Amino acid sequence: MPLLVVRDLKKHFPIKKGLIQRTVGHVRAVDGVSLSVDKGETFGLVGESGCGKSTTGRSILRLIEPTEGEILFEGRDIRKMGTAEMRRMRRKMQIVFQDPYASLNPRYTVRQVLEEPMLIHNLYSSAAERKKRVSQLMETVGLSPSRMERYPHEFSGGQRQRIGIARALAVDPKLIIADEPVSALDVSVQSQVLNLLDDLQKELGLAYVFIAHDLSVVKHISDRIGVMYLGRMVELSPADDLYSDPLHPYSQALLSAVPVPDPEAKRERIILQGDLPSPSKPPTGCPFHPRCKDAKDICKTAVPTWEEIRPNHFVACHLYA
């Protein structure tokens, strides 16, 4: 049984106007996303900014309430859980944010930051036990416990993200939603944080939903990758298969921007035309058609169906119908 199953997840935000705040439309930020994640697996979720990937991550944790859909964690639908049960469940599902500085309370020392989730979940009864756990956590993420009484601003960007990861680990989760965890970091620091996440996964058997706007970031860490466009999944595949043979024209464009080490194997860069359309007014038919180099007449009117083209490799595109 997969650890996490998401079925037809939707998050529509109402657009309100006028004095009485009448609802005049909806932003379809997430519009029918399905995925599953096994224990110890990394699922990479990729797409341009504004495609709904972060909203998907937050909806999975119910940090924002989904509009529709099922979210099964260990076989149980968390959308049907009450407050107390949901709080217990949150221990098992944590999030690491893009901007570690904004997500850490600047008035808290690192010890306080790491103790807070333990207190919320009543995990250790004595201050001495909590402090011991803080030391352990700091060592686990490669920080010296001697710095636990320092404040977040005294750490570098990469170190702050290590604190954010330690905070997620403080409650022994099974799944971490990593929402662009390295996007705000220097390239040289990115690989260190990615390696840390990889090591932690091997050591602790964690599952990740790893959200990124850049396919090169998720390349080495992901087992499977889902590509999102305008609130929908357009391709889902084992990582190797997606990199060697992307099927959807949008995935092909994203992949063409990823640098390859061998200059002989250089891919032709596909420049996407135009901007991402507004999710409040998605194009008819295939939502990618105004920007697609392969669009046919049918693409303007008919929504492509989700098909398994090769084992475990799914795509929504009329080219494969």
User: What is the closest distance, in whole angstroms, from the C-beta atom of residue 247 to ligand SF4 in the complex?
Assistant: 9
Catalog residues that contact ligand SF4 under the rule CB under 6 A: 248-249, 286, 288-289, 292, 294-296, 299, 304, 317-319
d(CA 92, CA 90): 5
Q: Which is nearer to ligand SF4, 169 or 286 (CB)?
A: 286
Which phi-psi region, left, alpha or beta, contains residue 153 (left: φ > 0; alpha: ψ -120 to 50)?
Answer: alpha
Name residue, tokens 């989730």. 117
Instruction: Please state, in angstroms and as integers, the Cα–Cα distance from residue 211 to each residue in 30, 50, 178, 186, following that order.
Output: 14, 12, 6, 17
**Toward ligand SF4, which CB reaches closer, 88 or 296?**
296
In the complex, minimum distance from the CB of residue 177 to ligand SF4, in angstroms, rounded to a whole number: 27
Residue 11 or 318 with smaller CB distance to ligand SF4: 318
- Nearest to 317, CA basis, from 239, 253, 240: 253
Task: Please tell me whether residue 314 adopts helix, strand or coil conformation.
Answer: strand
Please state the closest distance from residue 258 (CB atom) to ligand SF4, in A.
19
Q: Which of 46, 53, 43 is nearest to 223 (CA)?
A: 43
Rounded to a whole number of angstroms, the minimum distance from the CB of residue 235 to ligand SF4 is 10
Which residue from 289, 287, 296 is spatially nearest to 319, judged by alpha carbons? 296
Q: Which residue number, 100 or 226, has a Cβ lying nearer to ligand SF4?
A: 226
Using alpha carbons, list the distances in angstroms from residue 48 to 152, 211, 229, 234. 30, 11, 7, 13
- Choose between 178 and 247: whose C-beta lies nearer to ligand SF4: 247
Closer Cβ to ligand SF4, 295 or 309, answer by number: 295
Q: Which residues contact 23 (CB under 8 A, 6 or more apart)?
A: 14, 15, 16
CA angle 67, 298, 310 (to 5 degrees): 70
Q: Which is nearer to ligand SF4, 189 or 270 (CB)?
A: 270
Min dist. Cβ of residue 27 to ligand SF4 (A): 21
C-alpha to C-alpha distance for 8 and 30, rounded to whole angstroms: 9
Q: Judged by CB, which is closer to ligand SF4: 114, or 292?
A: 292
Closest CB 139 distance from ligand SF4, rounded Å: 48
Helices and strands in the chain: count of H runs, count of E runs: 10, 12
Q: How far is the CB of 292 from ligand SF4 (least distance, A)?
A: 3
Shortest Cβ distance from residue 284 to ligand SF4 (Å)? Answer: 11
